[in-house]
Structure 1
Amino acid sequence: MRIIEHTAGRVSAPGLYRMPAEVYHADPAPEPSLSSSIAKLLIDRSPEHAFHAHPRLSGPQEESDPTRPKEIGTAAHKLLLDQGRDLVVVEAEAWTSKDARAERAAAYAAGDCPILRPDLDKAEGIANGAFDRLAKIPGCEGFRAADAEIVAVARDRSGAWLRIMMDKVEITDQGAIIWDVKTGEQAAAPQGLGRRIEGMAMEVQAAFYVHVLGLLLPKLQGRILFRWVFIENDPPHAATVAEADGAGMHVGERKVALALHRWNAGLRRGTWPSYPAQIIRAEYPEWAARKWAEREELDPSVADVDWSLDKSPWRPLDMENAA
């Protein structure tokens, strides 16, 4: 499928597109569309949260000022995708001076990405380290040459419009690989990635992206892989490439089905409910209850505690009679 250049406004049909990030985030689909980030809100928060965050339903969102670690991550991300042309280097050690802050503000106003010189050096270290490591991992040889920041717009059989922006994608007659780059302060150690994927609902992103690309390329369904490239910001910039296992993809697919159900219901009814309007009973985690029970049983420092509490009504202590 040909990749279509698109610079502004709405697209007219499903397809693969190359477009500015701000056009994608404003939602270029013919009708309001579901993204993986909105899907996560529908699953883990409420339809009201999804409505509030959607650019076509409630309007553009106010963005908070980015932190230096976030700017480093953005720059490294762009360098990894060979999309660093809009990086604006500010020759300063920090954003404390008036001139540096003015350059930063001007860059953001122009739609560019400002970065301090020492932070750019760090971002380049992250990117170069990742390229070196990926070149040594079998199956990752095509990462660097893959098409970057490709948008897919598709229509689900339910009628919902869906959209994704893939960091990198390789498409052949035999199959496709979607690459997603994750930089950050967290460790990229393999043994911790399953918990990290679950904690950030990354399985939703994986299942959602595979579903959308499969809608556009039905002949490749069942042969589309989703891979994360986890990279550590700090030296030695270790990296791990991971795919979700069968259980993760199964849960991700079920969650995407739930998100689609709630999305379509919201559009159809024109209502986006919030949390339940009633008092609920908060369920204490079973693991935490077991942990405390183990402490009562095994901790010698609490062996002599009387665990029964006085359940009689409280009343002021009679100090005279107590004396």
Structure 2
Amino acid sequence: MTITTDAGAQAPAAGPVIRDDLTAEQYHADRTSISSSGLRALLPPGCPAQFKYDRDNPPAPKREFDLGHAAHKLVLGEGPEFRIIDFPDYKKTAAQNQRDEAYALGLVPLLPKEHDQVQAMAEAIRQHPIAGPLFTPGTGRAELSIFWTDRETGIRCRVRPDWLKELPGLVLAADYKTIKSADPDTVSRAIRDHSYHQQDAFYTDGIWAALDPEDMRFVFVFQSKQAPYLITVRELAQQDRDIGRARNQRALRLYADCERTGIWPDWTGPVTEIPTISMPSYDTLRQAEEYLQ
């Protein structure tokens, strides 16, 4: 393992590296490694062609992420600074111009009501019996950048855990996510829809590779974006983590093949015949029972 604090220093390409000097922008701009979000984008409903386009053409900041970025800053102590846009909304051109200027400067624009909201969210975290002690300032490290090489494919990988606590005999990693509602059913669907089980397995593997702990745990902290900003802390079921790891390995093999050949296929790939398509299996079965009997 190599820990690098000098932005100009280079570590051995094949060995694990932990860096505490990279900004989020520098981390996400790295083209020598692939991240968890990249692996997830390679598999359906994504595809390699869309992944490569998005990697080469980074999208503009999205308003939907502003609250999450701001909450991360207050809870973890790391992330872009805020700029308060002193308007009730973005209907006026002046408000829109100030918002766009903030984005250009790498700041998170917040309306006054949004600033009040993220302050209340951070306070709810501090008062929570599990999340509060977990994120206590000074007890962990926020947003370290970890790089390692996947043994099977030789692909360089990277993760950036929100929060790492190194305890006697245990490394505890926590991922903080804001969500419309943190009720367990909605959280469960979010894990499926965003393939967070892949993220869990990938981060776990990266931390094992870089820190070689005696033991480790990875937990999700979900917080509702609606008052009173309730919080659900959960650890993923092992079977889901195993599925996530298998998906990661398939995505890594796909990525390695794309890099080797320079071919980044879409959902169909090279075919000479037009494939068939059907409704989702549940609907096919339901309608077949109703109409084909």
| TM-score by shorter chain over 0.5 | yes
Counterpart secondary structure, 2:144: strand
Q: Is 2:59 aligned against 1:66?
A: no
Query: Does the CA contact (< 8 Å) of 2:87 and 2:112 recur in 1?
Result: yes
Question: CA separation in 1, counterparts of 2:70 and 2:186?
Answer: 25
Q: Is 2:285 aligned against 1:287?
A: no
Partner of 2:35: 35
Counterpart secondary structure, 1:34: coil
What is the TM-score of this pair, normalised by structure 2?
0.86
CA shift, 1:71, in A, is 1.9
- C-alpha deviations, 1:31-70, integer Å up to 9, x for none? 621111110122222222222233xxxx34232x522x43
Equivalent pairs, count: 281
Partner of 1:120: 115
Amino acid across the alignment from 1:193: V
CA 1:189–1:10: 2 relative to 1, 3 Å: farther
Question: CA separation in 2, counterparts of 1:73 and 1:192?
Answer: 17
Question: CA separation in 2, counterparts of 1:213 and 1:270?
Answer: 30
Partner of 2:148: 154
State the Cα RMSD in Å. Answer: 2.5
Partner of 1:254: 246
CA shift, 1:23, in A, is 0.5
CA shift, 1:81, in A, is 1.2
Q: Any stretches of 5+ residues in structure 2 without a counterpart?
A: none
CA shift, 1:124, in A, is 0.9
% of aligned pairs identical?
Answer: 26
- C-alpha deviations, 1:59-109, integer Å up to 9, x for none? 34232x522x43222211221112366111222212233433332222222
CA shift, 1:110, in A, is 1.6
Partner of 2:48: 47
The one of 85, 88, 91 aligned to 2:83: 88
CA shift, 1:149, in A, is 1.4
- C-alpha deviations, 1:118-161, integer Å up to 9, x for none? 1100111111112211xx13x86232332111111111213211
The one of 26, 30, 34 aligned to 2:29: 26
- C-alpha deviations, 1:279-316, integer Å up to 9, x for none? 2222433322444467x4xxxxxxxxxx68xxxxxxxx
Partner of 1:129: 124
Amino acid across the alignment from 2:147: V
Partner of 2:199: 205
What is the TM-score of this pair, normalised by structure 1?
0.78
Counterpart secondary structure, 2:77: coil
Partner of 1:314: none
Question: CA separation in 2, counterparts of 1:151 and 1:131?
Answer: 25
Question: CA separation in 2, counterparts of 1:171 and 1:259?
Answer: 30
Question: CA separation in 2, counterparts of 1:10 and 1:199?
Answer: 38
Counterpart secondary structure, 1:236: coil
Tell me which moved more, 151-160 or 192-201.
192-201
